[in-house]
Amino acid sequence: MFKNLLGKSLAYRLTAFMTLVVVITLGIVIFLYIYLERDFASTTAEYQFSLINRTFNELISYINGKDHGIQPQQLIERLGEESSVNYITLYNNSGRPVMSSVTSLQTPLSEKELKELENLSDDHSVASVSKKTLDYIAPIRLRASCRKCHADGNILGFIKISSYAGNVYKHTYDMAKKLGLIFLFSLLIFGVVSIFISEFVVVKPLKEFVALIHKAELNNFLPRSKLTREDEIGEIEDNFNQMLSRITNLMATSVEKERELVFVKEELKYKELLEKRSEQIEKVNSELEGSVKELSMLYNFGQYIISTVDMNDLLRIITTAIVDTLNYKECAILFKEDNLLRIVSAWGFEDNAKLMGIEFGLEEGISGSVASTGKPMLINDTSRESRYLHYKGQIQKEGAFLSVPLKYKNIVIGVLNVSNDIPNSLTKKDIDFLTAISAQIAVVIENARLYEQTKELSITDDLTGLFNRRHMRVVLDKEWERSNRYSQPLSLLMIDLDLFKEYNDKFGHLKGDEALAILSQIIKMNIRGIDVPIRYGGEEFLIILPDTNAAGAMATAEKLRKAIADAFTQNNIPTLTISIGVVASPDEIFDSVHEFLYASDIALYEAKKRGRNIMVKYDGKSMQENNK
C-alpha cells in the first residue's frame, strides 16, 4: 500500500521513513509529558488540599476557643469557593456526612476507610484518585479548645475535599494540545526540507547517472559522466567512466578484428581459408565478450569491498559478494596469525557460525599448504583428495574446492577458499579470476587493519593502554550532557599515586613505568564495562562512572584503594598507595563540566592534605572555604 502511495521516488520513500521515525518519537514525548504532568498535577492538588484542611482545623480550633457564632457551614462554603476545590464534606466520627458545600450530601465513609483514617497519626491523610475526582480525606482531631463541648474520643469527625479530575488535569491537556500543534508544524517543515534534500542531493545525481547507464545499454559508450563530486556517487561515476573507456577500447579492438576479416575475405579466393578466418574471428569475439563480462564482475565486486573500512563489516561483505555476485556456492576467509590460520568469515554454508574460529597449522590441509607455499591449489573432486580436511570435519559435502593466497606486498596474510557442490566445476579460469580478486581483497584488508590501528593509537596511552586525555574530553562531555538531560547520576574518581616522585628517584623510572602499568591493569579489573579509565597525567588517573551515585562511587574508590595496596605488596614490588578524590552529581550542583572536573581535583588535594592513602568525597561548602 505504501509503495503504491509513494510511487517509485526514492526521495519520497526516504522522507516517509524519516517522518515516520519523527512522528513516533514526538508521540512518545507527548505521552511521557502527559503521564508525568498528571502525576505533578495530582501531587500539587493534594498539597493544596492539605493546606485547606490544616486551615479548616485551625479555624475550627479558633471558633471553639473564641467565637461560636461562626458556623462550620459558612467556613465550608467559603473554602469551597477555592478555584481548585469543587466541594467539601464534613463527616461525624462514625463516618456519616453532616454538612457539605453542595446541596446534596455525600455517601457515608466505608468501614475500611474509617479504620484506615483512625489509625493515622497527626497531620496525616488519605488521598485517592478515581476516574472522576481526586478526594482528600483527613481526620479532625479533638484539641484543647474542642473538649469544652466534645469530651469523648480523640476524633471529632472527618473532612473530605474533592475536585473533579477534569479541573485538576485541565492545564496538562491544554499544554499537550499546544505541544501537538507545535510538533505538527515542525513535522511539516521537516518533511518539506527532507524532500528537498533527498531530491537534489541524492536522487537527482542518481537519475543523471542512470540515464548514462541506459545510453551504455544502447551500445553508446562514448558519453561520460561529469565528475563534479568527491563523495561516493562521484567515485562510482569515476569507476563507471573507467569501465566505459575499457569497453570502448575492447570494441575498437573488435572493430579492428572485423576489418581484418573483411580484408582476408577480399584476398582469399578459397572457401576453406575464408571459413578458418571466420572461426578465428568468432573465437576472438567470444574472448572479448568474456573479458567484458569479467571486467563488469570485477567492477561490481570492487564497489562492494570499498564500501566500508570496518573489519567485521568488510569481511562479511567480501564473503557474501563472492557467493552472491560471483556465483560460488561457499566462501571462507582465513587470517594468518603467527603459525596458525584461523577462519574469520564464512558464507554459504549450512551453519556459517559453526566454522568461525577453526584453526589450521601451516602446511595442515589444503589451506595450510597454500599459506605456506603462497601458491593457489585446485581440487577437482574433494572425495579423492586426502589432504582436504572438510574444515576439521564440520562440512561433509563433497565437490570442487579452490584455495588462493591473500598477498600484500608479496607477503601471505591469509587464504581465500571457495567451493561448489559439483566436482570439476572449477577451472584454471577461476584460479586466474580469484587470484586477481585476492590482490584487491588483501589491499582493502590491510587498509582496514591500518585504520583500526590508527584509530586505537589516537585515543589510548602507549604505556598503560588506558584512554588518553583527548578521548577523555569527548567521553566526559557526552556523559555530562546525558546526565543532565536524563537526570542520571554521574561520578568521577581522580586518582594519584602517593609520593611517586620519591618512588622514581629511589627505584628508577623503569620501575616507575612498571608500577604505572600494573596500576592500570588493576583499575581495568575492578571497574565495570561502562566505566571509562583515563590516564590524566604522569601519575594521575581519572575514572568516569556513568549512572553511579555518591555511594557507588565511594564503594568503587575503596575497592580500588585496597586492591592496589594489596597488589603491590603481594607481587614483591615496593609498596605504593593511592589517594582518591570523589565527586558525584547531582549530590553537588555544578554549572559546567569544567567545574565538575575541577571539583574532583579539589577532593584529591584534600585527600593529600589528610595524609594520603585515603579517599575524600567533594564537599562544596567546606572545601571551598578551606581553599580560600
57/79 Cα distance (integer angstroms): 12
Torsion region of 508: left, alpha or beta (phi above 0 gives left; psi -120 to 50 gives alpha)? left
Structure confidence at residue 381 (pLDDT): 92
For the segment 145-170, the average pLDDT, to the nearest whole number, is 66
- Grid cell locating 466: 588506558
pLDDT in tens, 537-580: 888 999 999 999 999 999 999 999 998 888 776 555 567 889 99
Structure confidence at residue 60 (pLDDT): 58
φ, ψ for residue 301 (rounded to 5)?
A: -65, -40
Structure confidence at residue 292 (pLDDT): 47
| pLDDT-based confidence at residue 263 (cuts at 50, 70, 90) | low
Is the pLDDT reported for residue 384 higher than 70? yes
Structure confidence at residue 129 (pLDDT): 52
Strand-pair partners of 160: 89, 137
- Enumerate the domain spans of the chain: 1-217, 232-305, 311-439, 469-626
Element of type H or E holding 54: helix 10-65
Is the pLDDT reported for residue 360 higher than 80? yes
| pLDDT-based confidence at residue 604 (cuts at 50, 70, 90) | very high
Do residues 525 and 496 touch, judged by C-beta distance below 8 A? no
Question: Does the annotation count 58 as an active-site position?
Answer: no
Write the CB contacts of 398 (distance below 8 Å, at least 6 apart in sequence): 381, 382, 383, 421, 423
For the segment 488-499, the average pLDDT, to the nearest whole number, is 92
- 113, 237, 330, 539: the active-site residue: 539
- For domain 311-439, give the fold: Beta-Lactamase (3.30.450)
Of the listed ranges 5-19, 55-69, 589-603, the least confidently predicted one is 55-69
Is the pLDDT reported for residue 62 higher than 60? no
Is the pLDDT reported for residue 491 higher than 70? yes
For the segment 325-330, the average pLDDT, to the nearest whole number, is 85
Structure confidence at residue 480 (pLDDT): 93
Torsion region of 363: left, alpha or beta (phi above 0 gives left; psi -120 to 50 gives alpha)? left
Structure confidence at residue 225 (pLDDT): 65
Is the pLDDT reported for residue 414 higher than 70? yes
| pLDDT-based confidence at residue 2 (cuts at 50, 70, 90) | very low
158/98 Cα distance (integer angstroms): 10
pLDDT in tens, 100-126: 776 666 778 777 777 777 766 555 555
Cα-only R_g, the chain: 41
Of the listed ranges 45-54, 237-246, 399-408, 433-442, the least confidently predicted one is 45-54
Domain 469-626: which CATH class? Answer: alpha beta
For the segment 285-302, the average pLDDT, to the nearest whole number, is 54
For the segment 125-144, the average pLDDT, to the nearest whole number, is 65
Provide the mean pLDDT of the chain.
Answer: 76
> Per residue in 594-608, is it b (16+ CB within 10 Å) or e — as a string?
eebbebbbbbbbbbe
Q: Taking the domain 1-217, which CATH number applies?
A: 3.30.450.20
Domains 311-439 and 469-626 share a fold: no
500/516 Cα distance (integer angstroms): 10
